[in-house]
Amino acid sequence: MLKLYGFPLSNYYNKVKLALLEKGVPFEEVLVHFGAEGKAGKSPLGKVPYIETEQGFLCESQAIMEYIETRWPTPALIPADPWQAAKVRELITYCDLHVELCARQLYSQAFFGGTLPEKFIERVKGDLIKNLAAFKQLVQFAPYAAGDTFTMADCAVYVSLPLAALATKIVCGEDLVAAAGIDWKGYVKLIEARPTAQKVAADRKADQVRAMGAAAAKSGGH
């Protein structure tokens, strides 16, 4: 059975998990945090998620997604038409690289108690405003991210867009995703009508409670 390594608070872990659930692929979840086993040949940088297959280990969420799509082609999460398939992958790249990884620079202050220099925050804010405007040109929400069908793009957008919105609201004082005219809340409500997304969301919330409890215990709190 395929094993998925990582933790449910990770959006990239949930990107892969949602795809596996949508396809009905049997898999085992193995709790591993960032940096663990980074030198064991499983995930060279210690990043999650990574998977274990009968052939060996594979890391990087998009490489994993492509493997899953090829290994279990139905139900398809990539359109058969080459152009439409490319547009789905284009949207994923914009979401992962230009929105989420840009917003990720704010996570230390937004979620982990860090403090970022104001000039740094302003630079990230400017980049995000530009990148979200570009993302808006590509995303369709018709009603799904890439059109009228649930695709691999939804696995990426659903797990990352709300994080970018929350981080910017906390750090910048404004939800830059909503400010860009992107109705991410309506989109999340649509996706969470799916039992697979409900499972991902419930597990994420449970892991958040677990993480908060562990942090409190470490600091001597109750």
Give the model confidence (pLDDT) of 119-140 as tens digits: 999 999 999 999 999 999 999 9
Using the 3D structure, point to which of 52, 71, 90 is the last residue of a domain: 71
Q: What is the mean pLDDT of residues 191-211?
A: 94
Q: In terms of domains, do 39 and 116 share one? A: no
| CATH number, residue 49 | 3.40.30.10
Give the model confidence (pLDDT) of 139-167 as tens digits: 999 999 999 999 999 999 999 999 999 99
Is a pLDDT exceeding 90 seen at residue 185?
Answer: yes
Top pLDDT among 221 and 40 is at 40
DSSP line for the chain: -EEEEE-TT-HHHHHHHHHHHHHT--EEEEE--TTTTTTTTSSTT--S-EEEETTEEEESHHHHHHHHHHHS-SS-SS-SSHHHHHHHHHHHHIIIIIIIHHHGGGHHHHHSS----HHHHHHHHHHHHHHHHHHHHH---SSBTTBSS--HHHHHHHHHHHHHHHHHHHHHSS-HHHHTT--HHHHHHHHTTSHHHHHHHHHHHHHHHHHHHHHHHHHT--
Is a pLDDT exceeding 70 seen at residue 36?
Answer: no
- Domains contained in the chain, number: 2
Range of the domain at 105: 82-191
Q: In terms of domains, do 86 and 67 share one? A: no
Instruction: Give pLDDT, residue 222.
Output: 47
Q: In terms of domains, do 17 and 93 share one? A: no
Q: Is residue 119 part of a domain?
A: yes
Q: In terms of domains, do 11 and 110 share one? A: no
